[in-house]
A and B are shown apart, each in its own frame.
Chain A
Amino acid sequence: MKQRYLQWLLATVLAALAFGNAQSTVTVAVPEGPPGFDPQNNNRAVASGIYINLFDYLIFKDADGAFQPALATAWEPVSDTAWRVELRQGVLWHDGAPFTAADVEFTFERVANDPALLRHSYYAGITDVEVVNDHEVIFHTAAPDPTFLSALSRNGASVIPRHYYESAGVEKASLEPIGTGPYKFVEYRTDDRLVLEAFDDYWGGRPQFDRAVFRVIPESSTAVSELVTGGVDIVTSVKVSEVARVEASSSAHIERVGSNSTQYITFNVSEGQVTADPLVRAAIDYAVDDSLLAEVLTDGAGVPVRARVSPETSFSPAGLYDTYLYDVERARELLAEAGYAAGGLTVTLMGNTGHADIADLVAAMLAEVGIGTKIELFESSVWNSKYWQPGDFTNIAFGASSDSSFDYGNSLIDLTCPDGVHARRSHWCNEEYTDLVDAANTEFDPVKRAELLSAATDILLDERPQYYLYSNATFVGVSDRLSFTPRADSLIVLAETTAAP
Chain B
Amino acid sequence: MTGYVLRRLLQVIPTLIGITLLVFVTLRLSGDPIAAYLGSDAADSAVITPEQEAAIRQRLGLDRPLAVQYLVFLRNVARGDFGQSFIYQGRPAASLLLERLPATAALAAAALVIAILISLPGGMLAAVNRNKAPDTLVNVYSVIGDAMPNFWLGVMLILLFSVKLGWLPVSGSGTWRHLVLPALTLGTSMAALQTRLMRTGLIEALQQDYVRTARAKGLTPRTVLFKHALRNAALGYVTLLGLAVPGLLGGSVVVERIFAWPGMGLLFINGLGGRDMALIQAVVIFSAAMVILANLGVDLLYTVIDPRIRYQ
Q: Which residues of A contact B (CB under 8 A)?
A: 32, 35-38, 41-46, 114-116, 118, 120-122, 124, 155, 171, 174-175, 189-193, 215-219, 221-222, 225-226, 228-229, 231, 352, 380-382, 384-389, 399-404, 410-411, 413-414, 416, 419-421
A401 to B155, CA, bound (A): 32
Neighbouring B residues of A382 by C-beta, 8 Å: 30-31
Asked if B40 and A36 sit within 8 Å, CB to CB, the answer is: no
A411 to B45, CA, bound (A): 9
Neighbouring B residues of A32 by C-beta, 8 Å: 270
Q: Report the nearest B residue to A383, measured CB to CB.
A: B41
Asked if B39 and A387 sit within 8 Å, CB to CB, the answer is: yes
Asked if B44 and A222 sit within 8 Å, CB to CB, the answer is: no
B221 at the interface (CB under 8 A from A): no
Neighbouring A residues of B33 by C-beta, 8 Å: 385
Stretch at the interface among B69-77, B87-95, B192-200, B239-247: B87-95
A46 to B99, CA, bound (A): 22
B305 at the interface (CB under 8 A from A): no
* Min CB gap B41→A, angstroms: 6
Asked if A116 and B39 sit within 8 Å, CB to CB, the answer is: no
Given the contacts A41-B89, A190-B262, A215-B260, A388 and B59 also touching, CB distance less than 8 Å:
no
Asked if B48 and A36 sit within 8 Å, CB to CB, the answer is: no
Neighbouring A residues of B49 by C-beta, 8 Å: 115, 121, 124, 419
A36 to B86, CA, bound (A): 11
Given the contacts A191-B262, A381-B273, A222 and B40 also touching, CB distance less than 8 Å:
no
B25 at the interface (CB under 8 A from A): no
Neighbouring A residues of B47 by C-beta, 8 Å: 121, 413-414, 416, 419-421
Q: Report the nearest B residue to A42, measured CB to CB.
A: B89
Q: Report the nearest A residue to B92, measured CB to CB.
A: A171
Neighbouring A residues of B58 by C-beta, 8 Å: 116
Asked if A118 and B258 sit within 8 Å, CB to CB, the answer is: no
B133 at the interface (CB under 8 A from A): no
A382 to B269, CA, bound (A): 14
Stretch at the interface among B14-22, B165-173, B201-209, B295-303: B165-173
Asked if B275 and A225 sit within 8 Å, CB to CB, the answer is: no
Neighbouring B residues of A226 by C-beta, 8 Å: 170-172
Q: Report the nearest B residue to A403, measured CB to CB.
A: B44
User: Of B31, B44, B172, which one neighbours A385 at CB under 8 angstroms?
Assistant: B31
* Min CB gap B222→A, angstroms: 46
The 25 listed contacts between A and B (C-beta, < 8 Å) are A36-B91, A44-B43, A116-B56, A118-B45, A124-B49, A174-B89, A189-B99, A189-B262, A192-B172, A217-B171, A218-B257, A218-B269, A219-B258, A222-B155, A225-B159, A381-B36, A381-B273, A381-B275, A388-B38, A389-B35, A399-B41, A403-B44, A420-B47, A421-B39, A421-B48
A44 to B192, CA, bound (A): 41
B272 at the interface (CB under 8 A from A): yes
Neighbouring B residues of A45 by C-beta, 8 Å: 42-44
Could you list 5 further interchain pairs (A-B, Cβ under 8 angstroms) beyond the known A35-B88, A43-B43, A115-B51? A171-B91, A225-B170, A231-B169, A404-B44, A420-B47
Asked if B163 and A229 sit within 8 Å, CB to CB, the answer is: yes
Given the contacts A115-B52, A190-B262, A219 and B41 also touching, CB distance less than 8 Å:
no
Asked if A411 and B36 sit within 8 Å, CB to CB, the answer is: no
* Min CB gap B90→A, angstroms: 8
Neighbouring B residues of A192 by C-beta, 8 Å: 103, 172-173, 260, 262
Interface residues of B, CB < 8 Å — how many? 59
Asked if A385 and B162 sit within 8 Å, CB to CB, the answer is: no
B9 at the interface (CB under 8 A from A): no
A410 to B87, CA, bound (A): 26
Given the contacts A174-B89, A222-B171, A381 and B46 also touching, CB distance less than 8 Å:
no
Q: Report the nearest A residue to B84, measured CB to CB.
A: A171
Neighbouring B residues of A115 by C-beta, 8 Å: 49, 51-52, 54-56
* Min CB gap A132→B, angstroms: 30
Asked if A229 and B162 sit within 8 Å, CB to CB, the answer is: yes
Asked if B172 and A193 sit within 8 Å, CB to CB, the answer is: yes
Neighbouring B residues of A217 by C-beta, 8 Å: 171-172, 260
Asked if A35 and B56 sit within 8 Å, CB to CB, the answer is: no
Neighbouring A residues of B269 by C-beta, 8 Å: 218
* Min CB gap B172→A, angstroms: 6
Asked if A229 and B41 sit within 8 Å, CB to CB, the answer is: no
* Min CB gap B217→A, angstroms: 58
Q: Report the nearest A residue to B91, measured CB to CB.
A: A36
* Min CB gap A48→B, angstroms: 9
Q: Report the nearest A residue to B169, measured CB to CB.
A: A231
B83 at the interface (CB under 8 A from A): no
A402 to B40, CA, bound (A): 12
* Min CB gap B309→A, angstroms: 43
Asked if B99 and A190 sit within 8 Å, CB to CB, the answer is: yes
Neighbouring B residues of A218 by C-beta, 8 Å: 257, 260, 266, 269
Asked if B170 and A380 sit within 8 Å, CB to CB, the answer is: no
Given the contacts A222-B258, A413-B47, A191 and B275 also touching, CB distance less than 8 Å:
no
Q: Report the nearest B residue to A192, measured CB to CB.
A: B262
A286 to B88, CA, bound (A): 43
User: Of A174, A222, A403, which one neighbours B46 at CB under 8 angstroms?
Assistant: A403
B96 at the interface (CB under 8 A from A): yes
Asked if B89 and A36 sit within 8 Å, CB to CB, the answer is: yes
Q: Report the nearest B residue to A217, measured CB to CB.
A: B260
Neighbouring A residues of B169 by C-beta, 8 Å: 229, 231
Q: Report the nearest B residue to A415, measured CB to CB.
A: B46
A414 to B48, CA, bound (A): 9
